[in-house]
Amino acid sequence: MLDVKPKPRTHAPPAKRWRNYYRVYHVLTLARLGTIFPGIHAGPDAFPSKEIAEQHAKELLAMLNPPGRWLMDHAGAFPEGDAAN
């Protein structure tokens, strides 16, 4: 008869939690994070999907950055456990 085998799994399961990373250009004092210095830092929250994480980052940066200046920029949303290098 025919030899039936299960389909091989070729990729990792999708990430369950996503975390935003931000590039900070100036020393900032933020209520939830305290004082942060220039460099790349992880955001305090984790989100269930990449789209939700990116939307939250867009809204945060719109509130935080004054017109014509950049205090912080979005470096990307990465699965929990990975990091923006």
Which pTM was predicted?
0.76
Residue 84 lies in a domain: no
Q: Between 14 and 63, whose confidence is greater?
A: 63
Residue 28 lies in a domain: yes
Domain count, the chain: 1
Task: List Cβ neighbours of 50 (8 Å cut-off, separation of 6 or more).
Answer: 15, 18, 77
Residue 1 lies in a domain: no
Q: What is the pLDDT of residues 5-58, one digit of tens each?
A: 887 777 766 668 999 999 999 999 988 888 999 999 999 999 999 999 999 999
Query: What residues make up the domain containing 37?
Result: 18-79
> What confidence category does residue 71 fall into, taking pLDDT thresholds of 50, 70 and 90?
very high
Question: How many whole angstroms separate alpha carbon 72 and alpha carbon 70?
Answer: 6
Distances (CA, A) of 80 to 3, 21, 47, 61: 39, 11, 9, 21
Task: List Cβ neighbours of 76 (8 Å cut-off, separation of 6 or more).
Answer: 20, 21, 84
Residue 7 lies in a domain: no
